[in-house]
Copies of this chain bind each other. A is one copy, B any other.
Amino acid sequence: MSPEPAATPRKQPKQERSQATVEAILTATTHILTENGYDQLTTNRVAERAGVSIGSLYQYFPNKKALIFALAEHHANEMVRLAQYHLEGLNNLTIPEVLRQIVKAAIAAHAVNPKLHRVLHEQIPHSEVMRRLDETKMENMLRSFLAQRSDQLQPKNLELTIFMVERTIRALLHGATIDRPELLNTGEFEQELMAMLSTYLVKR
């Protein structure tokens, strides 16, 4: 990023002020999206709801797309962060055990802000970039887990397997979050999803 002077970092009150502005803008965007939907999202309305002038908004976001992208990125990062937290220290587990943890992690990740998640995915025109936000990190995590256990794996083609498993988990969690939220409370859904992946992946 910008070149840092090698001095003691000191809190810049200016920074705080503008930091608060940026946060207010992102929060307002979230609220308008979840409460009113994408077609009610105008930059002027965001500014108003954030208690900030429209000029300030354009001081931190060059345009509306950038604002939405920043929000989507933030949300994706939160989801990944939470998932990673659930996936620490899985080194000595078997494939079924790993899968159970991965499913649990995905469930937790989708609980970050389901309403926002829904709007982000079903109302907002997705750019190429945006579509890849969640995807890549999950694929990498899966790759490292599965590659370590390739001797226990039944399917031959690792990359295809990663693709299938990642998409399956994401689609089912996504679908449940949006259309069958009641499934997320019972352990049954978790159990069956894990079972499906498990019976497919493990050598018998």
Chain A interface residues (CB < 8 Å from chain B):
1-2, 36-40, 122-126, 131, 155, 157, 160-161, 163-164, 167-168, 170-172, 175, 180, 183, 188-189, 192-193, 195-197, 199-200
Contact = CB atoms under 8 A, between A and B. Distances in A.
Nearest to A183: B160
B160 A164 contact: no
7 nearest A-B pairs in the assembled complex, by CB-CB distance:
A171-B171, A196-B200, A199-B199, A1-B37, A123-B125, A167-B175, A122-B126
Q: How many copies does the complex hold?
A: 2
Contacts of A175: 163, 167
Contacts of A38: 125
A160 B172 contact: no
Given A37-B2, A125-B39, A131-B122, A172 B168 contact: yes
Contact of A168 (B36, B161, B171, B183): B171
A138 to B, nearest CB: 13
Contacts of A180: 163
A122 B130 CA distance: 10
Given A193-B164, A195-B200, A200-B199, A122 B125 contact: yes
A49 B180 CA distance: 42
Given A124-B125, A125-B122, A199-B200, A188 B171 contact: no
A126 B171 CA distance: 16
A164 B170 CA distance: 12
A120 to B, nearest CB: 11
